[in-house]
Amino acid sequence: MSESNTTNPEEIDEERRDFIHIATVAATVGGAGLVAYPFIDQMNAAGDTKAASSLEVDISQIPVGGEIRVLIGGKPFFLRHRTPAEVAAAESTPVSSLPDPQTDADRLMPLPDGNLNPAIIVTSGSCTHLGCVPVGPGGGNLGDYGGWYCPCHGSHYDTSGRIRKGPAPTNLEIPDYEYVTASVVKISL
């Protein structure tokens, strides 16, 4: 028998070894993913929680000059139907005089037809200073600018929810909302 026909048991087939290593790593990673998915997926919000994280509000029920307050996921939101005088005051305020400069129009969302409804303002109901809930129409104190007043530390907001005086560093936040129809607003967390 010639030596060329016999294989040396000491020789290693490197391609076969590399394939086995790659296949082992791929199987391990795939198995880890299959095991981890249920644990990660259980951290997602349940369907009832997702449903509770948005609310549709009929704004046609808000009287001119009034507001309604709603809770979504335990967070307060204000929906205010401003008077023509309140809208005019908010629009005529020089942006350069504001601690957190924003025009009134920047704080509004478009109607389904693309136009803005300046009479309706939707804001978060948490003061941007320490999270207290400011008072407004019906609360007995509209503050110095006709908007909201935070009795905890004295922040004053105008009718657009912009900070005008006090320790609050920024305007009341504008939540993620949209007009479903011209008279229904959907607020989402």
- Report the catalytic residues: 153
Measured at the alpha carbon of residue 58, what is the angle toward residues 141 and 161, in degrees to the nearest 5? 35
Question: Which of these, 41, 52, 186, 45, lies nearest to 112 by C-alpha position?
Answer: 186
Contact 151, 167 (CB under 8 A): no
Do 181 and 189 form a contact (C-beta atoms < 8 A)? no
Would you tell me how many other CB atoms lie within 10 Å of the CB of residue 86?
Answer: 23
